[in-house]
Structure 1
Amino acid sequence: MNRKKVVLVAGVFPPGIGGMQSYYYNLSKHTKHEITVLAPAYPGSEAFDGQQSFRTVRGAFMRNERAHILSWGRLFRHVRKMMVEEPDVTVYGYVLIGIIGLLFRVFGKRRYVISTHGMDMLMFRRFIGLNQIVKLILVHADGVLTNSIFTRKLVEDYGVDPSRIRLVHPGVEAVFDQRSANVELIRRHGLEDKYVILSVGRLVTRKGQDRVIEAMPEILKHIPNAVYVIVGDGPDRARLEHIVQVNGVSDAVIFIGSISGSESLNDYYNMADQFIMVCRELEKGDAEGFGIVYLEAASAGVPVIAGRSGGALEAVLDGVTGLLVNPDSHTEIIESVLQLAQDHALRDRLITAGYKRAKTGFQYEVLAEIFDQYVEELCASPRANNSKLVRKRPRMKQDIR
């Protein structure tokens, strides 16, 4: 392999917690290219960075893991410093900060790639001005990474040449695997002799924890010892707690909150009898781009239920590796939970197929090879002509540094 110099401008990154953080970290960890990550600072960043094999540059250019208007100048200056090292390609991990890549593309002939995740392709469509900016960023990028076929179609809707788009799914970290249940964890949460239904994810409306809570009264009629365990935190927590009270299921719903470390999360998967996240697409353009938690659960030998929306249709193969339901149908949610609890042959079949798929096609060593090949192909191709964007570009003595 012809090793290239890659800069990843990551809007989110560990030690922050989340699917995108894991995605960018593992691509950086497993790529064979020389990668430098430009990432926001977090508490504990210095200790985390010291344990990695790749270089990370931290900057105070994000607020709550989002670029805000007062930070654009600082972020631009950070990227400009990285350009001095003359990377072969720069990958922008959030579509709007790709405007910086577009500027360096036009005035400095620097190659850039935009990494997309689904929601970022939907959230700006309601705003004409921002939508046009997103289109410019995508159309003039040398390449676009997508995390699912769902996201790829959204990118193509912007008029991006399909030949410049590459699909690199999120992967499952090796730590997620089948283990004996953690007895101490079960005792801590009072889950002895309980039938554990588990969700893992940020507490936001699209994840569908509300629909499962609303289904719990009927589920409890058939599975009296059922408990719905919710791992994660977010802005929807107060609303979800209110739904618990309204439905009278306080004794059957446990909010764990945020936990740190994949090792601990694997313990939660391994104490679950089934996993559920009935994600749905919202009118405001909020959708699940993929849903790696389904494959994490499958890696731990847990059967899964997903909402039939967004990229979840790729993460879970209906009737093969899990069950897909209408996320707005309490009846389908209840029936699927009961089916997994009662149909042991189906349960075993889904567990076996789900585990095999997660452990073969969704390991980061494999996915990083796709990323590496894509980078090589981009660097081997001639830079695209920017004449359609800037008709008359002044001659420059040297590239922007």
Structure 2
Amino acid sequence: MAPTYRIAMVCDFFYPQPGGIESHIYQLSTKLMDRGHKVVIITHAYEGRTGVRYLTNGLKVYYVPFMVVYRSASFPTVFSFFPIFRNIVLRERIEIVHGHASLSSLAHEGILHARTMGLRTVYTDHSLFGFADAGSILANKLLKFSLSDVDHVICVSHTCKENTVLRASLDPLMVSVIPNAVVPEDFKPLSPAEATNNNQKSSSSNNNTSSNQAPVPVRRLLGPHDPITIVVISRLFYNKGTDLLTAAIPRILQNHPNTRFIIAGDGPKSIDLEQMIEQNVLQDRVEMLGSIRHEEVRNVMVRGHIYLHPSLTEAFGTVIVEAASCGLYVVCTRVGGIPEVLPSHMTVFAKPEEDDLVAATGRAIADLRANKVRTELFHEQVKNMYSWTDVARRTERVYNGICGDISEVEFYGHDATANVAGWTATRGRSGVRSFALIDRLKRYYGCGVWAGKLFCIVVIVDYLLYVFLEWWFPRRNIDICPDWPRKNKVKTG
């Protein structure tokens, strides 16, 4: 019987905030629970949510009261998170700490403290960063610090893997690529009843996303003068291409009179979109919905024919998979890992430039009017390409590898005890990272002339804090939480 683990997912970004990382953590945790593992979430408190909460499927969430500084990321303190983190880990008898996202302070601090406590660690990167600007240089140095002592790294695309390996100076053998996925039952195309009753406008009253029945494909034939709706669902930030979108919308609407936009999302760039609408008098052709909940995404998407994704940087882009699953033709920028996500017949690519984005959108509109694209078939195709069950199975294999439950050759492709270039002597049995403090200091010392020494000081202080906490609040005084009744582990044969 395959082993089961007690896993803590640590990240600043989680529900009730909507987003790709939040959805990834929830879906992965749910599927891991279905496979027999225990999973808890550790995140910072949100408005109206502080303390311990149980989600409807039994997933336990710790909302830790920490100050948020920017884009839902908590204030980095390095050491103040340790006491409560240790308490949670001991209460839940955690064996593996899995951190998510480059900009999550809790994730990086959780990995540091977990290694000090002798726990296995995994990190998943969901983002791409540059190498030239000051912000990226600082973020990359901090990432190198966090990942110098992690057991394994997961990236959501091959482009993301290349970026992370370069940024953190990692051995490529310890980085796996496991993409995001989609819940196809939650992103079905329009049914015949919805298409007839709602005329492709609002399907929320008749939609039942919990149904397990396969959707009946609807062939939406378009004439040369039929209206086309373009949907945009995104956080309205610079890196999501909001400036590009603001410049392109008036030109697209001018070139294609029977076209309208629906924009969902919120952020600091929303004021620019509103000003553009006012200046060009487009109130009747551009609908701004503001922030929407994740369960409302499908109802917005099925109102459209094209999904426009003008992002300037993207490691994966789960939302374009959701759009294709809903039967939308996708127009997206050729950046980051986006070209890896969907096959060419579902997408029209553009350079991250205004002129090319306008031209690509025009090509997509022309293809739809000529009925060259069978968008009603996209749902079943996406359903066969992406599965959270498969993501959980592959992630479970990573856990097996770092815990030594599968052979070195099976996990890494070679014997870690052999003299292999790039494989350091600070690894122990099965090639996993050694917990010995001297070995940890050796890894951190190589992070830079000055940074290496600073990182070593941080690790030593963290270790001394751990020793103090073990004396001041012994683990025998910490109550053990009873486990939530869970399903039997599924067979993996």
TM-score, normalised to structure 2's length?
0.70
Residues of 2 paired with 1:77 and 1:350: CA distance?
Answer: 56
Q: Does the CA contact (< 8 Å) of 1:216 and 1:249 recur in 2?
A: no
The aligned residue for residue 175 of structure 1 is 186
Residues of 2 paired with 1:202 and 1:172: CA distance?
Answer: 19
Listed as ranges, the matches of 1:136-285 within 5 Å are 136-157=145-166, 158-173=168-183, 174-179=185-190, 180-181=194-195, 183=198, 186=201, 194-262=227-295, 264-280=296-312
Could you list the per-position Cα deviations for residues 162-192 of structure 1 after superposition, in whole angstroms to 9, with x for gaps in the alignment? 222122212112301112347298379xxxx
Of stretches 364-373 and 237-246 in structure 1, the one that deviates more from structure 2 is 237-246
Structure-2 change in CA distance of 1:346 and 1:154 (3 Å) = farther
The aligned residue for residue 321 of structure 1 is 346
SS of equivalent residue, structure 1 residue 90: strand
Task: Give the C-alpha shift of residue 221 in structure 1.
Answer: 4.2
Residues of 2 paired with 1:389 and 1:115: CA distance?
Answer: 21
Could you list the per-position Cα deviations for residues 78-113 of structure 1 after superposition, in whole angstroms to 9, with x for gaps in the alignment? 221133244221011234434434543553322211
Residues of 2 paired with 1:228 and 1:79: CA distance?
Answer: 45
Residues of 1 paired with 2:389 and 2:234: CA distance?
Answer: 24
> Is it true that 1:333 corresponds to 2:351 in the alignment?
no
Amino acid at match of 1:199: V
Amino acid at match of 2:86: R
Q: 1:342 aligns with which of 366, 369, 387?
A: 366
Q: Does the CA contact (< 8 Å) of 1:321 and 1:353 recur in 2?
A: no
Q: Does the CA contact (< 8 Å) of 2:44 and 2:74 recur in 1?
A: no
The aligned residue for residue 306 of structure 1 is 332
Task: Give the C-alpha shift of residue 37 in structure 1.
Answer: 1.2
The aligned residue for residue 20 of structure 2 is 19
TM-score, normalised to structure 1's length?
0.85
SS of equivalent residue, structure 1 residue 320: helix
The aligned residue for residue 79 of structure 1 is 85
Could you list the per-position Cα deviations for residues 298-341 of structure 1 after superposition, in whole angstroms to 9, with x for gaps in the alignment? 00111100011112222234x332111012142x3233223222
Task: Give the C-alpha shift of residue 344 in structure 1.
Answer: 4.2
SS of equivalent residue, structure 1 residue 53: coil
SS of equivalent residue, structure 1 residue 229: strand
> Is it true that 1:51 corresponds to 2:61 in the alignment?
no
Q: Does the CA contact (< 8 Å) of 2:200 and 2:302 recur in 1?
A: no
Gaps of 5+ in 2: 204-225, 405-429, 443-455, 476-493
Q: Does the CA contact (< 8 Å) of 1:38 and 1:56 recur in 2?
A: yes
Residues of 2 paired with 1:104 and 1:41: CA distance?
Answer: 20
Residues of 2 paired with 1:87 and 1:38: CA distance?
Answer: 12
Residues of 2 paired with 1:122 and 1:51: CA distance?
Answer: 42
Could you list the per-position Cα deviations for residues 44-64 of structure 1 after superposition, in whole angstroms to 9, with x for gaps in the alignment? 658973412222222112526
Amino acid at match of 1:67: S
Residues of 2 paired with 1:252 and 1:314: CA distance?
Answer: 32
Q: Does the CA contact (< 8 Å) of 2:165 and 2:171 recur in 1?
A: yes
Q: 1:61 aligns with which of 61, 66, 79?
A: 66
Could you list the per-position Cα deviations for residues 9-35 of structure 1 after superposition, in whole angstroms to 9, with x for gaps in the alignment? 121111221111111010111112211
Q: Give the structure with higher Rg (CA).
A: 2
Percent identity between the two aligned chains = 21
Amino acid at match of 2:60: R
SS of equivalent residue, structure 2 residue 357: helix
Task: Give the C-alpha shift of residue 374 in structure 1.
Answer: 1.4
Q: 1:133 aligns with which of 139, 142, 149?
A: 142
The aligned residue for residue 322 of structure 2 is 296
Could you list the per-position Cα deviations for residues 349-373 of structure 1 after superposition, in whole angstroms to 9, with x for gaps in the alignment? 4636743442122221221111112
User: How many residues matched?
Assistant: 387
Residues of 2 paired with 1:223 and 1:202: CA distance?
Answer: 26
Gaps of 5+ in 1: 281-286
Task: Give the C-alpha shift of residue 196 in structure 1.
Answer: 0.7
The aligned residue for residue 373 of structure 1 is 397
SS of equivalent residue, structure 1 residue 197: strand
The aligned residue for residue 284 of structure 1 is none
Of stretches 391-400 and 344-353 in structure 1, the one that deviates more from structure 2 is 391-400
The aligned residue for residue 388 of structure 2 is 364
Structure-2 change in CA distance of 1:122 and 1:248 (3 Å) = farther
Structure-2 change in CA distance of 1:128 and 1:215 (3 Å) = closer
Task: Give the C-alpha shift of residue 121 in structure 1.
Answer: 7.4
Residues of 1 paired with 2:155 and 2:175: CA distance?
Answer: 7
SS of equivalent residue, structure 2 residue 176: strand
Of stretches 133-142 and 202-211 in structure 1, the one that deviates more from structure 2 is 202-211
> Is it true that 1:384 corresponds to 2:433 in the alignment?
yes
Q: Does the CA contact (< 8 Å) of 2:97 and 2:114 recur in 1?
A: no
